[in-house]
Structure 1
């Protein structure tokens, strides 16, 4: 099940086990059960602190429990075979159940341990979902730290009957005590905030007490990370506030144009970015959404950023790097059927539509790549493009045209997503050449029509273009002195990771240059 290289790596990691652990399987007669049994045997052979036993005590098969030999309450369960993106979740579960300390702030672990109540979590994931491991790993950790918390991670692609019965059409989907708890990417702190009503207020109070920064970066994508690093290297006081560290890159599957790195994946790159930022003295404030920017009234004065939590941050200079998000269709039915057949991530949700009919809206690179990926999973893909021809690269168009289960419709305006009140049943579009309306019967709609900048909160603070992008000059400076911007939220063309990093670096250097050129009396007053 595991190749020689993976076995060698895992064997090295398992030397960190402090307590013996047991792998308790529930198996059937199917091929997947055979695969799981082989995987568990491979793991047990790598450490004398790991043993395997078969109990067949769980209704989901194949599944297995990882439990501490000395304390059966310390355990996590996987239903399925956690390979692909979830292999890291498996490794962390083995180590944490085995007593290896997690890399989580002590105050967060204390908060988990102090939760009062019985919490039984179930998470449905897909092996191709890059957002699912964060949820799985967070809930696994919680179940290890607090004996009143249990967690089962379930491969939705393997337990499709269960997925259909519970009407799950997007991953990750989390159930708590049998009721829907959440969908989509969540971090440990976000889960805690939902369970502990006082957590957000405590975080806001802590943030409000912070002194003013020399540079405050708002946004934690590639531009924000680069800006924070370049600013911190100047030896000044730097803060970074982000609604979601990593931003849009977390939703990016394959990255093959990041110069000098032949291939990487979004979540992996984000982890590297975050570690690089943490190597410097940067005050990272994650899960903080900015709501208002109040520019300084005088040159060299303090700018203020108000957060959704109620706290405020002040800084001599601000670098805006809030990035962008998926553009929505804006048609009837889209919001009603979001996560009920309307999806925006083919890698995450594609496996849930195995054998079904879907549509992809958008004929650019993202749309065509999504259609190609989905064609290998679903029964049929209809790609709908507003323009008279596809805009994707020629090599992608040739690949798409070669697939037998794909239909391409151009000059088409999607007008409505249709459903039965619970799930998507089809969509309607208008033929722009003949001005005729048509309907397509299908079960899923994947929207891939570009990005919209996250700048609505800035419309009264800095000048925006008609597309909502922050207008910047060649130095990255906005219409307000001392406020800079970088990345996909700006008017700089070509929304690419490598460009965003360069623009973030430039904005940080410009902010530092701005500060050192302030008159001495202004600097003293700001300090």
Structure 2
């Protein structure tokens, strides 16, 4: 099961186990059960502190992990390989007494949670967003005896997936009821369970002293701005809903100069680690609602907290643009998806459409073609915008069709899931329909700047923040960087450069205004 490289990594990590742990495998006569049994035997054979026994979990195959002598509270219903191998490693370490690096106050908050919490998370092994949720819930289960968590590979438990009509991952259930969907961080999950936590956090944030420079956004632009600001020796803070921004939803990155290949979550983790080295006050799980200027720049958060700073860098990034057609909102996560890597496996053997003929759209079509029965690319323009090498690859695939000059007009569903797509032929005006099970929307980005429309910050008609060569906006002391601005070409490396520019511009402003 494990190649030599994984074995070497695992052997190093297993040395951190402090107290004995038990693995239990609940299996049947299926091939996947044999694979899981082989994996468990291989792992157990690598450490004297790991024992193996037969389990009795209701789902089969399931690998359960627990401290020796305790009933297991962490379960993997499926084979935790691919993106989930790290989840298995962490479960082994944490069950074996190796401490988590999470905020000690947050860990204590988890230990103090009252009630019974039985979590189930449906995942796909190709989903890069799923491990964060799985690892957060696994950690909670190891800390609190009233919490259990089961990771469920949707590809192995299709009956459950169909019964619960799951078409997007990660998809979390709590005590048999829907709890959340999509990426969730450990603080977010705990905050939903501990209802008083948000008010306590807001009060704590409002007590913070004013910053010299406060960055709004935790993506590449925000991280670069924070590092450049902190290196100047000034009091620097960063506030964001999550660290990493849209990069967390990016799989393969092959154009980051000097790094031939990396993945979004890995790059995001490196950015956060770099920022933390400079003592930046990082505030996550918070969204800014309003920006005003008095003697300082003031930011009102959705939580009710208020932060102040002498200068601010806005790096709020962008998100996937939506179709804004009838049926899209109603069938989101029920056939309408935005991440082909995460949700593609749920459409195995089915017909899907990709809306958009740019690089992201054609890349999605190529990836999906290896999973689904058929892919139809629907492009509004009369030509594709993707790089020629991608176009050639897509056109060479026998199960990929491309329709040009097509305006998507409606997502068609049967009340519970997507069954088709309506589009207008822009040449003839004729309205046509496609029968399909899934629609992947890949039509570009929209800046996260709606909250600035009532401010004095100048925006373009597309919602982009207007900036000058130093990143300055129309409001004194407020600078901006990255995909939320008028900087052309929305690329990771360009966002980083603009973040550095905005921080240096803001520092220059601070020097001049202090004089």
Q: Above 0.5 in TM-score?
A: yes
Q: State the partner residue of 1:236.
A: 234
Alignment-derived partner of residue 38 in structure 2 = 38
1:212 and 1:194 mapped to 2: Cα distance?
29
1:420 aligns to 2:414 (yes or no): yes
Cα RMSD over matched residues?
0.9
Matching residue within 100, 104, 107 for 2:105 = 107
Q: Supply the distance in 1 between the matched residues of 2:23 and 2:380 (Cα, whole angstroms).
A: 53
Gaps of 5+ in 2: none
3-state SS of the aligned residue for 1:170?
A: coil
Q: Hey, what's the Cα distance between the residues in 1 that align with 2:14 and 2:189? A: 28
How far did 1:461 drift?
A: 2.6
CA offsets per residue over residues 180-238 of structure 1, 9 Å max, x none?
Answer: 00100000111111111101111101100000000000000000000000000011000
Which deviates further from its counterpart, 82-91 or 27-36? Answer: 27-36
1:373-418 residue CA offsets vs partner (Å, 9 max, x unmatched): 0110011111100000111000000110111111111100000001
Q: Is the 8 A contact 1:208 1:312 kept in 2?
A: yes
Superposition deviation, residue 243 in structure 1: 1.3
Q: How far off is 1:177 after superposition?
A: 0.5
Give, in angstroms, the shift of residue 58 of structure 1. 2.2
Q: Corresponding residue for 1:69?
A: 68
Distance (Å, rounded) in 2 between the aligned partners of 1:103 and 1:174:
24
Distance 1:180 1:42 in 2: 35
Which of the numbers 286, 289, 314 marks the counterpart of 2:287?
Answer: 289
**8 A Cα contact 1:122 1:151, kept in partner:** yes
Look up the match of 1:200.
198
- Distance in 1 (CA, whole Å) between partners of 2:194 and 2:513 is 45
Q: Counterpart of 1:19?
A: 19
What is residue 367 of structure 1 aligned with on the other side? 361
- CA offset at residue 59 of structure 1? 3.0
User: Counterpart in 2 of 1:58?
Assistant: 57
Which residue of 2 is the match for residue 498 of structure 1? 493
Offset at 1:482? 1.0
* Residue matched to 2:510: 515
What's the CA shift for 1:466? 1.1
Structure 2 Cα separation of the partners of residues 497 and 295 of structure 1: 30
Residues in 2 aligned to 1:216 and 1:58: alpha-carbon distance in whole angstroms: 49
Matches of residues 328-343 of structure 1 in structure 2 within 5 Å?
Answer: 328-343=322-337
Query: Distance between the aligned counterparts of 1:93 and 1:161, measured in 2?
Result: 27
- State the partner residue of 1:483: 478
Matches within 5 A, 1:208-247: 208-247=206-245
Q: Does 1:306 align with 2:305?
A: no
Distance 1:23 1:481, change over 3 A: same
Residues in 1 aligned to 2:513 and 2:293: alpha-carbon distance in whole angstroms: 16
C-alpha distance in 2, partners of 1:397/1:203?
A: 49
CA contact (8 A) 1:359 1:444 kept: yes
CA distance in 1: counterparts of 2:514 and 2:80, whole angstroms: 59
2:441 aligns with 447
Q: Could you tell me which residue of structure 1 aligns to residue 28 of structure 2?
A: 28
Corresponding residue number in structure 2 for 1:379: 373
Deviations along 1:397-453, whole A, 9 cap, x unmatched? Answer: 011011111111110000000101111111100000110000111111000000000
Q: What is the CA-CA distance between 1:70 and the residue it aligns to? A: 3.1
- Within the alignment, does 1:318 sit opposite 2:312 as a pair? yes
Q: By how many angstroms is 1:5 displaced? A: 1.7
Q: 2: CA distance between counterparts of 1:155 and 1:461?
A: 49
In 2: Cα distance, 1:448 partner to 1:33 partner: 37
Distance (whole Å) between structure 1 residues aligned to residue 58 and residue 105 of structure 2: 37
Mapped to 2, the partners of 1:85 and 1:8 lie a distance apart of 17
Structure 2 counterpart SS, 1:457 = helix
- Written as runs of structure 1 = structure 2, the 5 A alignment for 1:127-142 is 127-142=125-140
**TM-score scaled by structure 2?**
0.99
- Separation in 2 of the partners of 1:52 and 1:374? 38
CA distance in 2, matches of 1:59, 1:205: 44
Aligned residue for 1:37, secondary structure, equals helix
What is the SS of the residue equivalent to 2:483? coil
Mapped partners of 1:510, 1:302: distance in 2: 17
Kept in 2: contact 1:476–1:503 (CA 8 A)? yes
Aligned position for 1:97: 95
The alpha-carbon deviation at position 72 of structure 1 amounts to 2.5
Deviation at 1:53, TM superposition (A): 1.6
Cα separation, 2, equivalents of 1:63 and 1:489: 44
TM-score after normalising by structure 1: 0.96
How many Å separate the matches in 1 of 2:241 and 2:5? 37
Q: Secondary structure at the match of 2:427?
A: coil
| Pick aligned residue for 2:385 from 391, 403, 419 | 391
Query: For structure 1, which runs of at least 5 residues remain unmatched after alignment?
Result: 521-527
Partner-residue secondary structure (3-state), 1:47: coil
Corresponding residue SS for 2:150:
strand
Aligned to 1:525: none
Please show how residues 468-479 of structure 1 align to structure 2 within 5 Å.
468-479=463-474
1:480-503 Cα shifts (integer Å, max 9, x gaps): 111100000000100000000011
